[in-house]
Structure 1
Amino acid sequence: MGRETVLLSEASSLTAREFTTVLGRSGVKVEAVSPAMAPLVKFSRWCRRVHRAPAPSTDPIGYLRRVDELMASGRFAALLPTHEQAWLFAAGRHLLPHATMAVAGLDAFDQVQSKPAFAALLDSLGLPQPAWRLVEAESDLSALGFPVWVKSAFSTAGRGVGLAADHEQAASLWTMMTRTPGTSVMIQSPATGRYAQVQGLFDHGRLVAAAASEQLAIGAGGSAAARLSVDHPDAIAAITTLGARLGWHGGLTLDYLHVDGAPSFIECNPRTVEPGNAAAAGVDLPALSIRLATGGELPTKPLIARAGVRTRSTMAIALGAAEQHHTRRAVLSSIVGSVSQRSSLRGSTEVLTPLLADPPSLVPLAVAVGTVLANPARVAELAGGTVETYTVTHEAVRRVMDVPHP
């Protein structure tokens, strides 16, 4: 490590920014692809360049051709998918002949990218999750009682998911989600406990490394803006079982709620998500991903992150406070609490915008914080604009699959 240059699949997500932080601190040079003029990753001393490309959701074929053009230059050791582009890469391998990457097969993605398909897979493996069912008619919406989660088959960053308190709210969500013909919807009972994630990195079904962490602070869309690494062997056993069943290759992340470490799984992200806490806890998923992609040496036994490590993302905490409380006072209080490491954040490490190590990261932090301090309601605008630059739709994947193989 230290002399490689890698290409990130996008530059706007919190995951891409944390990849940049982790890789940069270990001496890896980072470049990225983005349709945005000034994405988050650009404001880092560890990012050498952001290459403009079409948006993967609106021009997926143009996006993949641009990525392959960059990889054909021979300057990059590996292509690292930091968001839903992993799904697009799986579907469009025939358009990426020069890409060195670790991505599972499309058949494996088909079993986890769709929420109903993932729920059915969990059932087949006997892994715990809340009760669920497909919605085929409006009358199905009341089958599990209320409150109930209404989930579109394909969504990202909390979009396409809503909690309904009664039948009227559920019907409204269902109607909105099914405006696009062919969209399937499921309902699921709420889980109880604390929100957590377990991450795994797999080599064709063999677990290489894993890390579990629980939420300490809420970000936009209910994400984990601060984390505590935890010892959850049941969650790690579950992701090991899932990865082996799928023959998974690359990063995989499961969201769950837990009571005393007993998980109830609610979501699958078929990629590595926000690796900063795992790296701080001794498992460098970005570095291992490079080795996996390039055929480098991998541990013979799975590396498991140590428990008790706290990390925070001040910008994400501020955006979460704006979304939850809608007041300047709450936003300011959240920033002060994060910077001064109050309460549960005591002893935490900043992993998103580490100002002392990476001074340019002050720019996006200042812009985001300044925006929501001026008007907390603009948090939706900020988050929505960012998501549009990296999201991948089911339609985009189908368009790529329709391109003939050479």
Structure 2
Amino acid sequence: MPKGNDPDHPRLNVLLSNGRFPVSLDLARQLHKAHHRVYTVDPMEFHICKFSWAVKKSKETPAPATDPAGYIEAVKKAIKQWSIDIIIPLHEEIFFLAESNEPEIISRLYAPPFIELYQLHNKWEYTELLGRCGLDRPEAYFCTKPEDVEALDRSRDWALKPVLGRSSTGVQHIKPNKEVDYSSFELSPKNPHIAQEWLPGNRYCTYGVFRKGQMQAFCTYPVMETIDGSSSVFFEAVEHKEIEAYVRTLAEKLNLTGQLAFDMVETGISESDMERRGGKSKVHEEFEKRRRQNPNRDGAEPAPEADGNEYRLVSIECNPRATSGLHLWSQTADLANVITDRDMLLPSLRAETGKSRQTGPGMLMWERKNANFKRYVKHTCRLLGTKDLLWSWKDLVPVLVQPFLLASYYRICHDKGGMPLPEMFQSDVIWAPGMYGQSKKMGLDISRPLQETDPELVLRPRGEE
């Protein structure tokens, strides 16, 4: 573990780009366990990290969504005041930081360059990246008006998403031969959407740490318990070699650096086959056997058919920042050591198969639609038998102040005209292009693909630039 007098693992001053999310607190604790000094900046006066023993100091900043220049200036002051060595971005503040072009920030920011970041975040550009890397991807179309949607094959299911959306915000399920209520959402050149083929199947999320295309840490967890059908509140590490090979191929071909998380869909395998508590499924053992028989396969191409259905493994979107996957290293210093391992001296890290964590309040609000008795029993077993990611005997105050924090959050919601809590929690850190920095200077136009507006900026696999 890093020590203050260990030249191979020096103690660093680490700045987290916000202190309000569960991932902020968990990562702060992991970094503290690795003997680093942790600081946070956040537009909120009161947030969960402010009450944690793991955080040395916290500074209130202007909101980047409304005053990006003020936020950047506050970060620069924090860097100087606290002698920051590395900045770890946690949410969409990453875009404001990456496009700032401020040397004090860019040289310390653990993230891809801005234009790479944009192409990973933009769902259309990301789908194009997958194609250039030879990876399976959903069939997709760029849509800026209702006529683009109506031109699709309307006998099929489609997922219509804002290209710069996050989580499942604004996702429309376009059902076969059903009218679309275009008045319920904005579809325009200012808010373009991607229409992706609707892929039923098993859903997975990944989280990883990468430097110069090399995978330094990685985990995969299936989407099993959610609040809204997509936002996971239960996390259990599984081994899935096909997914790992897919992600490794993408990272190596694009020479990526940063925290990267991918949403995956796997078709052709039943729900029961996905259960892997304590080990790999028989289906995946069969896939590995077939790969050994055909050593030219690297896991990136579609695998053989399973049970008569076409097997496909595709990525539907990328989150180029911290996500809930880091909870699978809770109460250890392992991930923190890798994130701060700028010289890549440590061996590659994997989350322990079967390790699980939950967000207790989220599990109590789980989506129970169509749940039968067996499903209720399974949920209850997970709820009662899984460690909560916020609870820590050594750091109790963040748990004890939850009622106070909730009251302060609702006060902010009231002051913002009755804004819903989930929206309020993100509203002041959400990025939009053209407000500030590089996206404003280059006149980034999201109404058309980058290939049409600035083809020289398009990210291409190594060797094909």
Q: Could you tell me the TM-score, scaled by structure 1's length?
A: 0.81
CA contact (8 A) 1:195 1:214 kept: yes
- What secondary structure, in the 3-state scheme, does the structure 2 residue paired with 1:96 have? helix
Q: What is the distance in 2 between the residues matched to 1:337 and 1:16?
A: 31
CA contact (8 A) 2:32 2:54 kept: yes
Q: CA deviation at 1:51?
A: 0.6
- What secondary structure, in the 3-state scheme, does the structure 1 residue paired with 2:57 have? strand
Alignment partner of 1:273 out of 315, 323, 341: 323
Q: What residue identity is the alignment partner of 2:47? A: P
- Taking the TM superposition and a 5 Å limit, the aligned residue runs for 1:3-402 are 3-94=11-102, 96=104, 100-142=108-150, 143-145=152-154, 146-165=156-175, 167-169=178-180, 171-172=182-183, 176-178=186-188, 181-219=189-227, 222-258=230-266, 259=269, 260=274, 263-280=313-330, 284-292=334-342, 295=343, 297-299=344-346, 301-318=347-364, 320-321=365-366, 324=367, 342-345=380-383, 347-351=385-389, 353-363=390-400, 365-366=402-403, 381-396=420-435, 401-402=440-441
* Aligned position for 1:333: none
Structure 1 gaps, min length 5: 331-335, 373-378
Greater alpha carbon shift after TM alignment, 309-318 vs 95-104: 95-104
Q: Which of the pair is proportionally richer in helix?
A: 1
Q: What is the distance in 1 between the residues matched to 2:118 and 2:41?
A: 25
Q: What residue identity is the alignment partner of 2:29? A: T
Deviations 1:302-361 (A, max 9, x none): 32223111111113334x43xx479xxx9xxxxx999xx83235642222x114232112
Q: What is the distance in 2 between the residues matched to 1:282 and 1:29?
A: 16
Closer, same or farther: CA 346–268 of 1 in aligned 2, 3 Å: same
Q: What is the distance in 1 between the residues matched to 2:147 and 2:263?
A: 29
* Aligned position for 2:300: none
Greater alpha carbon shift after TM alignment, 144-153 vs 89-98: 89-98
CA contact (8 A) 1:355 1:361 kept: no
Q: CA deviation at 1:97?
A: 5.0
Closer, same or farther: CA 357–192 of 1 in aligned 2, 3 Å: farther
- What secondary structure, in the 3-state scheme, does the structure 1 residue paired with 2:265 have? strand
Closer, same or farther: CA 275–7 of 1 in aligned 2, 3 Å: farther
Identity %: 19
Q: What is the distance in 1 between the residues matched to 2:400 and 2:180?
A: 40
Aligned length: 377
Q: What residue identity is the alignment partner of 1:354? A: W
Larger Rg: 2
Q: Could you tell me the TM-score, scaled by structure 2's length?
A: 0.71
Q: CA deviation at 1:15?
A: 2.4
- What secondary structure, in the 3-state scheme, does the structure 2 residue paired with 1:386 have? helix
Q: Which runs of 4+ in 1 moved over 6 A?
A: 368-372
CA contact (8 A) 1:141 1:171 kept: no
Closer, same or farther: CA 134–36 of 1 in aligned 2, 3 Å: same
CA contact (8 A) 2:41 2:59 kept: yes
Closer, same or farther: CA 226–270 of 1 in aligned 2, 3 Å: same
CA contact (8 A) 1:197 1:214 kept: yes
User: CA RMSD for the aligned pairs?
Assistant: 3.4
- What secondary structure, in the 3-state scheme, does the structure 2 residue paired with 1:342 have? helix
Closer, same or farther: CA 79–369 of 1 in aligned 2, 3 Å: closer
Greater alpha carbon shift after TM alignment, 382-391 vs 357-366: 357-366
- What secondary structure, in the 3-state scheme, does the structure 2 residue paired with 1:68 have? helix
Q: What is the distance in 1 between the residues matched to 2:55 and 2:82?
A: 18
Q: What residue identity is the alignment partner of 2:359? A: S
Q: Which of the pair is proportionally richer in strand?
A: 1
* Aligned position for 2:290: none
CA contact (8 A) 1:254 1:268 kept: yes
Closer, same or farther: CA 371–39 of 1 in aligned 2, 3 Å: closer
Closer, same or farther: CA 200–356 of 1 in aligned 2, 3 Å: same
Structure 2 gaps, min length 5: 4-10, 275-283, 285-311, 410-417, 443-465
Q: What is the distance in 2 between the residues matched to 1:86 and 1:34?
A: 13
CA contact (8 A) 1:81 1:271 kept: yes
Greater alpha carbon shift after TM alignment, 224-233 vs 128-137: 128-137
